[in-house]
A and B are shown apart, each in its own frame.
Chain A
Amino acid sequence: MRETSWSEFLITRLIKVTGYSAILIVGIIFIFLLREGSPALIEIPFSTLFSVRWYPIEDYFGILPLIGGSLIVTIGAGAIAIPLGLATAIFISEVAPRWAREILKPMVEILAGLPSVLLGFIGILALAPLTREFLNLPTGLTALTGALLLSAISIPTIVSVAEDALDAVPKTYRDAALAMGATKWQTIWRVTLPAARSGVLTAVMLGIGRAIGETMTVMMVTGNAPVLPTGLSALFKPTRTMTATIAAEMGEVANGSVHYHALFLIGISLFLISLVVNLAAASVVFRQKKRAERILS
Chain B
Amino acid sequence: MRIFPPLNPLKLQILIIFCILTTACGRLSEDQNNGSSASIENKGSDTIVNLALAWAEEYQDVNPAVRISVTGGGSGTGIAALINGTVDIANASRSIKPEERESAQGNGIDPIEFVIARDAIAIIVNMENPVDKLSIDQISDIYSGKINNWTEVGGEDRPIVRLSRETNSGTHVYFLENVLRKGNKEDKTLFSMDTLLLPSSEGISVEIRQNPNAIGYDGLGYVTEDLKVIAVAEPGSSEYILPSAQAVNESLYPIARDLYMYTAGEPTGEVLEYLEWILGPDAQDIVTELGFVPIIR
A227 to B145, CA, bound (A): 13
Judging by beta carbons under 8 Å apart, are A248 and B6 in contact?
no
Name the segment of A97-105, A156-164, A205-213, A249-257 touching the other chain.
A249-257
Judging by beta carbons under 8 Å apart, are A248 and B211 in contact?
no
A18 CB, min distance to chain B CBs, angstroms:
15
The answer, among A58, A141, A254, for a CB contact under 8 Å with B196, is: A141
A to B CB contacts below 8 Å, 25 in the list:
A4-B4, A4-B5, A55-B190, A124-B203, A128-B207, A128-B210, A129-B210, A138-B158, A138-B161, A139-B161, A139-B213, A140-B210, A141-B196, A141-B207, A220-B199, A225-B196, A238-B194, A248-B197, A251-B74, A252-B77, A253-B76, A254-B80, A254-B99, A254-B103, A255-B80
Residue of A nearest to B202 (CB): A124
Q: Which of B151-167 contact A (CB under 8 A)?
A: 158-161, 166-167
Does B173 reach chain A (CB closer than 8 Å)? yes
In the bound complex, residues from chain B placing their C-beta under 8 Å from that of A226 are: 193, 197
Does A29 reach chain B (CB closer than 8 Å)? no
Judging by beta carbons under 8 Å apart, are A11 and B4 in contact?
yes
Judging by beta carbons under 8 Å apart, are B77 and A251 in contact?
yes
Judging by beta carbons under 8 Å apart, are B6 and A224 in contact?
no
Judging by beta carbons under 8 Å apart, are B199 and A248 in contact?
yes
Does B113 reach chain A (CB closer than 8 Å)? no
A129 and B196 in contact, given A4-B3, A4-B4, A251-B74 (Cβ under 8 angstroms):
no
A227 to B161, CA, bound (A): 14
Q: Which of B64-92 contact A (CB under 8 A)?
A: 73-74, 76-77, 80, 83-84
Residue of B nearest to A133 (CB): B210
Interface residues on B, range: 35 or more
A224 and B198 in contact, given A4-B6, A255-B84 (Cβ under 8 angstroms):
yes
Judging by beta carbons under 8 Å apart, are B199 and A219 in contact?
yes
In the bound complex, residues from chain A placing their C-beta under 8 Å from that of B206 are: 124-125
Q: Which of B116-158 contact A (CB under 8 A)?
A: 158
Q: Which of A203-254 contact B (CB under 8 A)?
A: 219-220, 223-227, 237-238, 240, 248-249, 251-254
In the bound complex, residues from chain B placing their C-beta under 8 Å from that of A60 are: 190
Judging by beta carbons under 8 Å apart, are A248 and B190 in contact?
no
A-B pair count, CB < 8 Å, reads: 104
A124 to B163, CA, bound (A): 14
Judging by beta carbons under 8 Å apart, are B103 and A224 in contact?
no
The answer, among A7, A125, A139, A225, for a CB contact under 8 Å with B214, is: A139
Judging by beta carbons under 8 Å apart, are B83 and A254 in contact?
yes
Does B168 reach chain A (CB closer than 8 Å)? yes
Interface string of B193-228 (1 = CB under 8 A from A): 111111100010011001101100000000000000
Judging by beta carbons under 8 Å apart, are B194 and A227 in contact?
yes
Judging by beta carbons under 8 Å apart, are B193 and A7 in contact?
no
The answer, among B76, B159, B211, for a CB contact under 8 Å with A140, is: B211
A253 and B80 in contact, given A4-B3, A56-B167, A132-B211 (Cβ under 8 angstroms):
yes
In the bound complex, residues from chain A placing their C-beta under 8 Å from that of B211 are: 129, 132, 139-140
In the bound complex, residues from chain A placing their C-beta under 8 Å from that of B191 are: 55
In the bound complex, residues from chain A placing their C-beta under 8 Å from that of B5 are: 4
Give A contacts to B, CB under 8 Å.
Answer: 1, 3-4, 7-8, 11, 52-53, 55-58, 60, 124-125, 128-129, 132, 138-141, 219-220, 223-227, 237-238, 240, 248-249, 251-255
Judging by beta carbons under 8 Å apart, are B193 and A225 in contact?
yes
A221 CB, min distance to chain B CBs, angstroms:
10
User: Among A3, A124, A138, which residue has the most Cβ atoms of chain B within 10 A?
Assistant: A138
A219 to B213, CA, bound (A): 21
Interface string of B1-13 (1 = CB under 8 A from A): 0011111000100
B125 CB, min distance to chain A CBs, angstroms:
13
Judging by beta carbons under 8 Å apart, are B166 and A248 in contact?
yes
The answer, among A56, A138, A223, A253, for a CB contact under 8 Å with B159, is: A138
In the bound complex, residues from chain A placing their C-beta under 8 Å from that of B207 are: 124, 128, 139, 141
In the bound complex, residues from chain B placing their C-beta under 8 Å from that of A129 are: 210-211
Does B100 reach chain A (CB closer than 8 Å)? yes
A138 to B158, CA, bound (A): 8
Judging by beta carbons under 8 Å apart, are B194 and A237 in contact?
yes
A219 to B159, CA, bound (A): 23
A140 to B163, CA, bound (A): 12
A7 to B210, CA, bound (A): 62
Residue of B nearest to A141 (CB): B196
Residue of A nearest to B210 (CB): A129
In the bound complex, residues from chain B placing their C-beta under 8 Å from that of A55 are: 167, 190-191
Judging by beta carbons under 8 Å apart, are B73 and A251 in contact?
yes
A132 to B197, CA, bound (A): 18
A251 CB, min distance to chain B CBs, angstroms:
5
The answer, among A138, A139, A237, A249, for a CB contact under 8 Å with B166, is: A249
User: Among A128, A224, A253, which residue has the most Cβ atoms of chain B within 10 A?
Assistant: A224
In the bound complex, residues from chain A placing their C-beta under 8 Å from that of B198 are: 141, 223-224
A191 to B9, CA, bound (A): 44
A52 to B190, CA, bound (A): 14
A121 to B176, CA, bound (A): 28
B50 CB, min distance to chain A CBs, angstroms:
19
Residue of A nearest to B211 (CB): A139
Q: Which 7 A-B pairs have the closest CB atoms?
A: A252-B168, A252-B76, A223-B196, A138-B159, A224-B197, A139-B161, A251-B77
